[in-house]
Structure 1
Amino acid sequence: MNHSADWQDIPVRDWQGQALDCAACPHAALRAGGGCEPGRSCMQDAYARRIDRFFRQHPKLATPQLAHPYFEVRAIAARHADVFHLPALMADPDETVRLQVALRLPQRLLGRLREDPHREVRIRVAQRLAEAELPTMLRDPDYEVRATVARRLPEALLPLLLHDSDLQVRLVVAHRVVMPALWRLVDDAAPEVRRVAAERLPAPLLEPLAHDRDWLVRHTAAARAVGAVLERLLLDPEPEVAARARERAAELRGGPAEGERRHG
């Protein structure tokens, strides 16, 4: 059988770097019927894609291999094994295995991985954990874990992350939080967060952002301003901001901006 080029580029070796010994394999009988093939579908191979092909074809053989000495075999077997046997792998020494376990564990056990030493495992936990349990991960030391929590946290609890130390977390919050907590973002230290506030705050509340030290924040506010706030931005010292304010004024009047009329 011809194999694709990427398979041919990977040497056919077992997980210890030795030549495959099909005769010694516990699943040797499968080969005669096309159930496995060295270089394509093989549980003893070191290459993860070949191991995965084997277990996709024979998922019922996965559970007995959860204690295999090679971490790739354990990790891939965990995708197909009986879920009732997965708790035994929650303390597996390899994070690749624990990550696969975190994707399948039932909720009653998933919380035990909230303090896993590896961030990728905790990210998967935060993606799956029941909403009611998410607040227990608000203080995770990794920003991406907290950002994942922020994407799923109920709106009423989002203010708990308004002052997170990481910009990416606060940006997630800024895009989701509602009034009156949204108002508190006008004082955020990062202009990126204040720009989101300028995009989402009710137009009559944009006045503090019309005086923002970052011209892009003022430019964003100018696109939505009304009344006295718009009048203030028409006089902004930054030409781009003033021009956007004129466009906004024209939109509110229902006609083209002054510059457009001159060049029309």
Structure 2
Amino acid sequence: MGLTLVVTQTEKVDPARLCEDCKYRDSLLAKAGCQPGDACIRIESGRQIDRFLQRHPELAEQYLDDPFWERRAIAVRWSPAHRAIEKVADADETVRRSVATRLKGEDLLLLAADPDREVRITVASRLPPTLLNRLLHDVDYAVRLQVARRLPPGQLMKMARDEDLTVRKEVARRLPPFALRLMAEDEEPEIRRTVTSRMLPEEACSMLKDSDWSVRATAVLQVPLAALKPMLDDPEPDVAQLARERLNAESKD
């Protein structure tokens, strides 16, 4: 997840004034290495600051402690990683989000408990899978969703009873078939349908008695043919019809 530059609204500034006392006036400016309105480190414009440091990344470290939060955030992007890590406790969340895009491995754990959800989402999207357990119980569902998307399948059972529907949907989509029975009694029919559609045929038989007709219909398409005869009398006509169609197709073969 990359850093999103924020276009800061500022009053119009005379380019000549910006350059009058700029330390780069006789070096970079003189050699067309910067240009107010396009690539400038002094103006409060994220795009111009980024263009400046993209051209001159060797200067980025000088701005890691700049008073302007956006200049610090962009400086983190272009500074060496060993310097970017120094800003993990920056007062501004945008700066810390930028730091999260630069760190790797265990260093990302420095931001695992950050108060900003976007920082933690970035951490969850970049942590090595072996370290994702640290975010299993994050208070924000979006962070846990990232974990559910990236956690090794064999460890997903730990999230089968997550309180959030979106997270459980992802778990149901990725759990190994042999473990899906753990979610067979989920309170949401949507989850049970996903579970049923991925179950091993023999295990899907247990879903033929589900209280929700759409789950039973999904089970009818999944179970062995030998289990279908009782479903011809299902109270839901669509379920009974599906069972009849499967049985008829088999008899024709």
Return the TM-score normalized by structure 2.
0.87
Structure 2 equivalent of residue 121 of structure 1? 119
Deviation at 1:194, TM superposition (A): 0.4
Question: Which residue of 184, 202, 205 corresponds with 1:204?
Answer: 202
Distance 2:138 2:21 in 1: 47
The answer to whether the 8 Å contact 2:217/2:242 transfers is yes
Change (3 A) 1:252 1:61: farther
3-state DSSP class of the match of 1:62?
helix
**Could you tell me which amino acid in structure 1 is paired with residue 52 of structure 2?**
F
Structure 1: which 5+ runs fail to align? Answer: 1-9, 256-264
Equivalences for 1:163-242 in 2 at 5 Å?
Answer: 163-242=161-240
Report percent identity of matched pairs. 41
Moved more, 88-97 or 230-239: 230-239
Deviation at 1:11, TM superposition (A): 9.1
**Could you tell me which amino acid in structure 1 is paired with residue 111 of structure 2?**
L
Distance 2:70 2:8 in 1: 16
Higher relative contact order (CA 8 A, sep 6+): 2
Question: Which residue of 78, 81, 98 corresponds with 1:80?
Answer: 78
Structure 2 equivalent of residue 42 of structure 1? 40
Deviation at 1:83, TM superposition (A): 1.0
Change (3 A) 1:129 1:165: same
Structure 2 equivalent of residue 60 of structure 1? 58
The answer to whether the 8 Å contact 1:110/1:125 transfers is yes
The answer to whether the 8 Å contact 1:12/1:39 transfers is no
Deviation at 1:178, TM superposition (A): 1.7
Return the TM-score normalized by structure 1.
0.84
Distance 1:205 1:72 in 2: 55
The answer to whether the 8 Å contact 2:185/2:192 transfers is yes
Structure 1 equivalent of residue 4 of structure 2? none
Distance 2:8 2:126 in 1: 37
The yes-or-no answer on 1:143 pairing with 2:141 is yes
**RMSD of aligned Cα (Å):** 2.3
Deviation above 4 Å: which 4+ runs of structure 1? Answer: 10-14, 17-20
